[in-house]
Amino acid sequence: MPARARSHDMPDTTELDPRRRRLLFRARHRGTKEADLLIGGFVARAIATLSEQELDELEAVLEYPDADLADWLSGRRPVPAACDSPMLRRIAAEAAARGAAEAP
């Protein structure tokens, strides 16, 4: 059987430790396609280089409901002060930059 081609956004999970593999899976399997793309894409690109503190912050972000995350990351609603974090701002900034780059 031929090897499956990997997406350029998908790291080789055999090179990741169990925590990073688990976080990548959670980020790419949120339950809604929009959240999978917004969050999963960022995590796939960044997971190998995140520090332990950043992994902690990512875990906290992944606890928020999909609907809230999708609204915050797409800019439909502002992030509430109680939920604001450097990691959430980083994901939102990348989502905005990628969206602007893909706009016609």
* Domains in the chain: ranges and CATH: 16-97 (1.10.150.250)
Residue 1 has pLDDT above 60, yes or no: no
15 vs 84: CA distance, rounded Å: 31
Q: Contact 55/19 with Cβ under 8 angstroms?
A: yes
Structure confidence at residue 27 (pLDDT): 95
pLDDT in tens, 43-102: 999 999 999 999 999 999 999 999 999 899 988 999 999 999 999 999 999 988 876 455
CA dihedral of 35, 10, 7, 103, whole degrees rounded to 10: 40
95 vs 68: CA distance, rounded Å: 15
Structure confidence at residue 3 (pLDDT): 47
